[in-house]
Amino acid sequence: MAKNIVLVHGGFVDGAGWEGVYKILKRDGYNVSVVQNPTISLDDDVAVTKRILAAQDGPAILVGHSYGGAVITEAGSDPKVAGLVYITAFAPDKGESVASLIENPPPGAPVPPILPPQDGYLFLDKAKFPSSFAGDVDAEKAAFMADSQVPWGVAALSGKISEPAWRAKPSWYLIATDDKMIPPDAQRAMSKRAGATVVEVKRCKSPGGWPTLPQFFLVGCSHF
């Protein structure tokens, strides 16, 4: 069983969002590393992730949340990666990008409150951030997250996958049915295409509000 877990965050946030998950996994005996990917370009984020993988002392489970799913899809070909875990995340195929996956949302799907780009970076509307991204987080923490957003580079969204790791590595996918950023049906389609083992939960976007999320990791890790 893999004892190393590498966590990759998504857009608009940083690795601190994994704190609750990190503490529980550490308590249960796992070696946990949190990638601080800059979310400026996919290539840079993959490079940062691979540096963390290189520091692992054995096989690792690579976990991606939201945009972090695109990062692990590209970085997951690393030989140290034993398996992939997608947390309500993008799982692009070869030649796809996050931008291409979101360009034609299904009718009636929630529209993420992404503001027009500023100098090549994206932000979420602060007033709508709690309901769209942090619905499972308490109001005070959600407000802090909205005010401390990390700029998400437009270039990161357009980065294309060269070879999806999920074609060669086992994967798990956690679908959040109340996600207002990635439509649940899109999550179902991506996870099915990847051949992932799927679990659905009635949750929103941010893993910081999911106290039971580590149990999903533990079940997944026991299979790798």
**Domain 4-221 has what CATH class?**
alpha beta
Contacting residues for 39 by C-beta, under 8 A, at least 6 apart: 10, 11, 45, 67, 150, 151, 152, 153, 156
| 51-92 pLDDT, tens digit each | 999 999 999 999 999 999 999 999 999 999 999 999 999 999
Confidence (pLDDT) at 207: 52
Confidence (pLDDT) at 19: 87
| 131-158 pLDDT, tens digit each | 777 766 778 888 888 898 999 999 999 9
Mean pLDDT along residues 191-215: 70
d(CA 172, CA 170): 7
Lowest mean pLDDT: which of 93-97, 113-117, 167-171?
A: 113-117
Mean pLDDT along residues 177-189: 85
Q: Any idea where the domains of the chain sit in the sequence? A: 4-221
